[in-house]
């Protein structure tokens, strides 16, 4: 695919699809990692005289139409303010996505300027499954610029207008962030150094059964913690009390365990858990062996024996991919397991990839520096789908862009 370096951007208005979907506490950004990850491509464009118009989404606005969604938010105003601080220059925010305010904002850009469109998901067509609806929004967005750069890796697995449809309408290229993310994921899927250890956490196995099936042909060892581990432990016959559980996935999980055994892939599960009286930051809790977990307790973290077990099974790794916290790290009393996993991975000398999403938020909230790992991905879902072997629509659109650009140049 083409890169930013392949485009002549001086004096051109570039529609940059970035991933600025940061967590908010009200209107305060709690983790600006995705904004900071977008800076290299933005700075490369502005340093070469581009007029950068950024499209991005934030959260999942609710409502049937634009007005209802815009009224309910969230607005990208806090993101525009933070981006301006990091860039050291004004970043005006358009009052809409692809309407009169967006057109006026784009028209006022000078060489080296940066502006931000309002939350692209305020437009229902952005996420529509109707090709014609998405295409209509794509045409309005494309009319604002002369070039397109896709740098929102965390959204590449979505067939959305600003990700999938716009690149078909403008000369398009991949941003540096996307190229870096793909390069790292290729290292994980094309002959990784071994032992290759994968750590999977998060809430539900249904989100990750596909990637686990794929990883059985790649990884040497898979460590499973967090909410998804309780379904695995149930599949082994253990009582999990009130813990998060997907009872309808138990048979599928049993099959995954059987397939892993047949392939010689080691599946490592918790041996003890922190059982709490209820889901609360100050809940009373005790440590229980998985063979004796009480029916009236809910597991919110892995126990000390499991923390040692996971650390030991990571100690000899040459390659590690981690996606999903292994406990309710947002509650300090139940963050020890996720912290122990993060610290164990940080000690690995080989390639260590934190697969975005809650995992990225966890390592930062728990105080580990970004450079403790080889890569902290900006896209949890996109990373998982890539490892699963799925075609990412946004990546395919960027792959197709050189051919479309060449055809356009050949026309008289």
Residues acting as catalytic residues: 34, 204, 357, 381
- 77 vs 114: CA distance, rounded Å: 14
Question: What 8-state DSSP symbol labels residue 98?
Answer: S
Nearest-5° Cα angle at 375, 370 to 377: 95
Helix axes 176-189, 393-410, angle to 10 degrees: 120
Residue 97's nearest CA partner among 116, 111, 82 is 116
Structure tokens at 258: 């059987």
The strand order across the sheet containing 147-150 reads 114-116, 51-55, 13-17, 147-150, 172-174
Residue 140's nearest CA partner among 159, 115, 112, 117 is 117
Q: Where are the alpha helices (DSSP H) in 53-125?
A: 66-72, 77-87, 100-107
- 45 vs 147: CA distance, rounded Å: 11
Torsion of CA 356, 361, 363, 367, to 10 degrees: 150
- 172 vs 320: CA distance, rounded Å: 33
What burial letters (b/e) apply to 209-241, b meaning 16+ CB within 10 Å?
A: bebbbbbbebbbbbbbbbbbbbbbbbbeebebb
Q: Where are the alpha helices (DSSP H) in 287-353?
A: 304-314, 336-346
- Sign of the four-CA dihedral 397, 403, 409, 411: negative
DSSP H/E element including 369: none
Three-class secondary structure of residue 166 per DSSP: helix
């Amino acid at each position: 695919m083409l890169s930013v370096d392949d485009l002549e951007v001086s004096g051109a208005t570039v529609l940059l699809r970035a991933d600025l979907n940061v967590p908010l506490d009200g209107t305060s950004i709690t983790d600006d990692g995705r904004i900071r990850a977008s800076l290299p491509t933005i700075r490369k464009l502005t340093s070469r005289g581009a007029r950068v118009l950024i499209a991005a989404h934030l959260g999942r606005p609710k409502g049937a139409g634009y007005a209802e969604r815009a009224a309910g938010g969230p607005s990208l105003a806090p993101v525009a303010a933070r981006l301006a601080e990091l860039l050291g220059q004004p970043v005006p925010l358009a009052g809409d996505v692809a309407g009169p305010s967006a057109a006026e904002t784009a028209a006022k850009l000078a060489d080296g300027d940066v502006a931000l469109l309002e939350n692209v998901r305020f437009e229902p067509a952005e996420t529509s499954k109707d090709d014609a609806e998405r295409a209509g929004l794509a045409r309005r967005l494309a009319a604002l610029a002369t070039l397109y750069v896709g740098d929102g890796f965390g959204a590449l697995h979505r067939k959305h207008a600003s990700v999938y449809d716009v690149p078909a309408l403008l000369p398009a290229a991949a941003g540096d962030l996307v190229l870096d993310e793909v390069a790292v994921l290729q290292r994980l899927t094309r002959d990784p150094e071994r032992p290759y250890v994968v750590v999977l956490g998060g809430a539900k196995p249904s989100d990750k059964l596909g990637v686990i099936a794929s990883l059985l042909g790649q990884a040497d060892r898979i460590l499973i913690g967090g909410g998804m581990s309780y379904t695995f432990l149930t599949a082994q016959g253990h009582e999990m009390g009130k813990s998060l559980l997907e009872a309808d996935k138990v048979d599928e999980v049993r099959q995954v365990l059987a397939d892993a055994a047949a392939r010689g892939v080691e599946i490592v599960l918790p041996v003890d858990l922190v059982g709490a009286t209820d889901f609360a930051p100050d809940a009373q809790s005790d440590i229980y062996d998985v063979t004796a977990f009480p029916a009236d307790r809910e597991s919110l973290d892995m126990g000390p024996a499991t923390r040692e077990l996971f650390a030991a099974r990571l100690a000899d790794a040459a390659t590690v991919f981690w996606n999903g916290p292994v406990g309710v790290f947002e509650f300090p009393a139940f963050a020890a397991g996720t912290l122990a996993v993060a610290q164990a991975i940080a000690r690995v000398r080989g390639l260590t990839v934190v697969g975005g999403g809650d995992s990225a938020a966890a390592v930062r909230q728990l105080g580990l520096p970004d450079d403790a790992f080889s890569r902290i991905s900006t896209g949890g879902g996109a990373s998982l789908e890539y490892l699963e072997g799925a075609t990412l629509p946004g990546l395919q659109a960027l792959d197709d862009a050189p051919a479309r650009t060449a055809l356009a140049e050949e026309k008289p």
